[in-house]
Chain A
């Protein structure tokens, strides 16, 4: 995998509403007609599915942009790195059955073959760019369906292994930074409202993950009885703008009520990140989150959020190990030391500015 500086869908330009929105993603679930779903497919059938999808994609304009990685032949560390970059799911990386992922050069498009469904088509961009994600995923989907027969049912639409994806098979998710809503204890209200609207609020790495650094993913749960454009439109026009407004309001309130505390929080985070000799992952995420809030609040101009986003990736274990092959990384302490060094180096401009 190429050096991280050259790409990564959330490392691009920050885009609209970047003070709150980190990245947007659209995922489509599809299965091939005539094959059992992944959970019932034999090893031979799974291999057939991989080669059928890959061969047809490689020979066509709609799929030629993907470079393919055979997960069975891929070292564990690289698989974990793809999870950290949100290119594949954790379960997909951990499985040992035949499976593959196609990734575009700029990493905005990735297609997992033999995840829970035969195809998981995913498009990701930085900032609030749901439309671009939807367009990219749909373009691949339409191309693919000209060459592959997708499982379809007269009543249930696109068929998927799990009932939660049946219908249009779409999952729109937006990664949000919500530190002020948590600080003002209003996150539970957002969570309840999200539940009522059939949305899920999850942690940094999606399903089953813990929130880290106040980063959350908000995504639709309903895929049946709504057109895919409606699902996209509802999140883009109604729900996400509302959450952004709430978070900005909470930031305003926090800043005006406790301006010294807000500044102190930022300075402490900056001081620790630029001086600590050991930095565990959860602490790094938490402090980087505070840094991001400080940047959005205009507390520093020494660094910008793109650097913070890049660091959010680079501090993850597999990224750290692959970027520093000569550093010893056997123990958590060694890992923490390497992480602390990386952060001190990257944030040198910030150290100078806080004096």
Chain B
């Protein structure tokens, strides 16, 4: 698809709702940048640009504590356990950056996770995460979930 403003290929595709009217814009990198500069100076340009890069026009907020992406970025602190799913993938990237590229926990889990029932529930959740990741073509995440799954099965195997 071509840019609305020139013949270069469009890299930014954006749906904007203004006063109830929905329009879709397609822009090349250059015109996307130009349009960004037309945003009033008081608007958080970095936020908008980052939102474009992660493909998220409307910032999600955490259902658990109300933390928005902007607040998370500002303080680099999660507000509750639910943030780790609600603010994905931005929070995933922040963690990996802080952790030298590490992508998943390994090692000890709270003792109560050793209950067979809890482990089954955990395993079921991992499986559904894996399906979702594959469906969304997020293969890196899928690989990490698969590793976590292997670890759970390893523990199950040892104790069985």
Contact = CB atoms under 8 A, between A and B. Distances in A.
Contacts, number: 121
A158 B99 contact: no
A153 interface: yes
Interface string A190-228: 000000001000000000000000000000011111111
A36 B103 contact: no
B65 interface: yes
Interface residues of A, number: 41
B81 A31 contact: yes
Interface in B96-140: 97-100, 102-113, 122, 125-126, 129
A176 to B, nearest CB: 22
A146 interface: yes
A228 B75 contact: no
A168 B99 CA distance: 12
For the residues of B in contact with A, the DSSP-based class is loop
Interface in B53-111: 64-67, 75-81, 84, 91, 94-95, 97-100, 102-111
A159 interface: yes
A155 B144 contact: yes
B112 A151 contact: no
Contact of A228 (B66, B84, B108): B108
A166 B108 contact: no
A149 B110 CA distance: 8
Given A157-B105, A222-B100, 6 more contacts: A36-B64, A152-B109, A157-B107, A158-B105, A161-B78, A227-B107
Interface of A: 31, 33, 35-37, 39-40, 116, 142, 145-146, 149-164, 166-168, 198, 221-230
17 contacts: A37-B65, A40-B66, A40-B79, A154-B122, A154-B145, A154-B148, A155-B105, A155-B148, A156-B95, A160-B78, A163-B76, A164-B99, A166-B98, A167-B107, A224-B102, A224-B105, A226-B106
